[in-house]
Amino acid sequence: MKKEAGFTLLEVIIAFAIFLIVTSVVPHYLKLISFDPKFNQRIETSIFFQQLAFDIQESARISVVNNTLYLQKENNKTVTYALFQHRIRRQVNHVGQEIVLQNVQKIQFSEWGNGIDVRVQDSFDQEHQKRITHLLPLEDMYDEQ
């Protein structure tokens, strides 16, 4: 009896299943590596808000003057956030050029009772806003009563 060369039905089904899995996953990876400036801007803005919230939590005093955010730290350092040439610049004691967000058309800082509201309009006409609360240390909360 002569053995014929070829694939069994089971081998074909397994190969087809692997092919379907690979073809269903590849478009998602291509989407991740493709360049979408609006998507990248949303991610950068989210990171900016996280860094700003961290700085606000570490600050002893918050003030907004001429749409520049001043954060007074307990170690007598002042951190400022301001719009500078379509970028948001972070400086410590008015020194440095740390760019924390690019492609910004407009930023607005507004103080409220226990934090700030931040509204950012980017170059893609997307508006992002965030309310960031400054949490008081427990000692300060009991001292106020």
pLDDT tens readout for residues 30-47: 776 767 788 888 989 999
Give a yes or no: residue 91 inside a domain: yes
- CA 105 from centre of chain: 17
Give a yes or no: residue 138 inside a domain: yes
Residue 139 has pLDDT above 60, yes or no: no
Instruction: Show the domain range for 82.
Output: 59-143
Query: Domain tally for the chain?
Result: 1
Give a yes or no: residue 134 inside a domain: yes
Give a yes or no: residue 32 inside a domain: no
pLDDT tens readout for residues 9-23: 899 999 999 999 998
Give a yes or no: residue 81 inside a domain: yes
pLDDT tens readout for residues 26-85: 888 777 676 778 888 898 999 999 999 999 988 888 999 999 999 998 888 999 999 999
Indicate the DSSP class of residue 22: H
Cα dist from 72 to 3, 52, 93, whole Å: 84, 13, 10
Give a yes or no: residue 7 inside a domain: no
Tokens of residue 31, six digits: 């989407």
Give a yes or no: residue 14 inside a domain: no
Give a yes or no: residue 37 inside a domain: no
